[in-house]
Structure 1
């Protein structure tokens, strides 16, 4: 389907059937020719109970959940109201200050730094 780990996607439309199957049309944040991808997901994916459903019942549908974590590199050019930054700048000795600056400036209202 072209959905990759680390990608940012927006839900363009959403519909739910009586059988609790959620159909969504997703569009990538990055411009890949404005391609829209359709996914059909069991509602259980978003409630944390998907592992309790037998594989045979899960197999016909897509499975994923929301991503809440990004690398500082991937977050460049974006901003959110609330950001929790895990300070891993020790891994970037040559560019520690730039890494911290980029991570810190993603927060518009509130920043929590975990050291």
Structure 2
């Protein structure tokens, strides 16, 4: 499952540099699949939809840092545990029970993001 950042976030910035997929964004920041990944041009999302990788998407939060579920791999293939959760001083990086993914799916997403 992806990780979410709860509204208890204090916007300390500790998590953002730890994410190997650049899935964490500042409040009110637009995001794109191409942001610090190998994705570019027209891409096919894992759900089958197509889009331009550099297309800017609306922020998922205007008040606190947020994680884009489509870019979050829970650090599978990089680390033994989600790095955002390990560095968060207020424990607001938690599993998203609405986005449950197997290790195989997370590894496939990692390979897709980084074109391995």
- Band of TM-score, shorter chain: under 0.3
Higher helix proportion (structure 1 or 2): 1
Which of the pair has more CA radius of gyration? 1
Per chain length, whose mean CA-contact separation is higher, i.e. which structure has more relative contact order (CA < 8 Å, sep 6+)? 2
Report the TM-score, using the length of structure 1 for normalisation.
Answer: 0.21
Report the TM-score, using the length of structure 2 for normalisation.
Answer: 0.21
